[in-house]
Structure 1
Amino acid sequence: MEKVTSFLMFQDDNAEEAMNYYTSLIEDSQITSVVRYGSNESGKEGTVMQATFTLKGQEFMCIDSNVKHQFSFTPSFSIFVTCDTEEELDNLYHKLIEGGQALMPLGDYGFSKKFGWINDRFGVSWQLNLPK
């Protein structure tokens, strides 16, 4: 086995927008490769056939699905971020929740100093944690 990578499938042709957004929010993050659909290929020309990006060194793959499925992202799989400061957590939470939905609003739930769980505007689930 070579490696294991988290994979995100976007269905509204917004994989590139999401990658750009995520890598702008988290330091030491970057888009590492993008392969686009060309003309006469199965996906919409110019959308992401396959891409990779890193968030703080963690690699992710993503695509713009050329098939519309009856499912999307689920909060049962989320990106878990351990923050260093309350300011960092608050800043990330407020940016990611724009156009999204709070699953667990920022608060003290007993297992950390501060915690929040959201679905962002793309439907991807994030858990933001400030450890005790």
Structure 2
Amino acid sequence: MQKITTFLMFEGKAEEAMNYYTSLFEDSEITSISRYGANEAGKEGTVIQATFSIKGQEFMCIDSYVKHEFSFTPSISLYVTCDTEEEIDRLFESLSQGGGVLMPLEAYPFSKKFCWIVDKFGVSWQLTLLS
């Protein structure tokens, strides 16, 4: 086995999501992107396949041209360990905007500050403050 990469399937919002995520985290970038052209299976300009990285963690994503009966679910989430209260507060505000809060940002027995949220694209995030 060579490696394991997190794969995210969107429906027409892959590029918007990548731009959003890479704007929120330092040391993040879109590393490759290929788009559908005219007369191809997907809508012209949407993402056939792309990769981006957040803090060295690589992600792959696509825009599915097939409508599915499923989407993202909170049973899989991206877990982020934050160094400062300012960082966790900023990420909570940004990522929860237009999404939803599954567990509010507060103290829990397992973390002095933690939250579990779903962003505007349906991706789940767990944020915790490094103690």
**Length-normalised TM-score, structure 2:** 0.98
In 2, Cα distance between the equivalents of 1:98 and 1:76?
Answer: 20
Q: Does 1:10 align with 2:10?
A: yes
In 2, Cα distance between the equivalents of 1:68 and 1:119?
Answer: 21
Q: Following superposition, which runs of at least 4 residues in structure 1 exceed 6 angstroms of deviation?
A: none
Q: Give the superposition deviation at 1:42.
A: 0.6
- Which residue of structure 1 lines up, in the alignment, with residue 80 of structure 2? 81
- Does the Cα contact within 8 Å between 2:106 and 2:113 map onto a contact in 1? yes
Q: Give the superposition deviation at 1:109.
A: 1.1
Pairwise CA RMSD? 0.6
- Which residue of structure 2 lines up, in the alignment, with residue 67 of structure 1? 66
Q: Percent identity?
A: 71
Unaligned ranges ≥5, structure 1: none
Deviations 1:57-109, CA, capped at 9 Å, x for gaps? 10000000010100000001111100000110000100111100000010111
In 1, Cα distance between the equivalents of 2:33 and 2:2?
Answer: 20
Aligned length: 131
Q: Give the superposition deviation at 1:40.
A: 1.1
Q: Give the superposition deviation at 1:131.
A: 2.7
- Does the Cα contact within 8 Å between 2:84 and 2:130 map onto a contact in 1? no
Deviations 1:27-73, CA, capped at 9 Å, x for gaps? 00000000101111110010000000001110000000010100000
**Length-normalised TM-score, structure 1:** 0.97
- Written as runs of structure 1 = structure 2, the 5 A alignment for 1:48-59 is 48-59=47-58
Unaligned ranges ≥5, structure 2: none
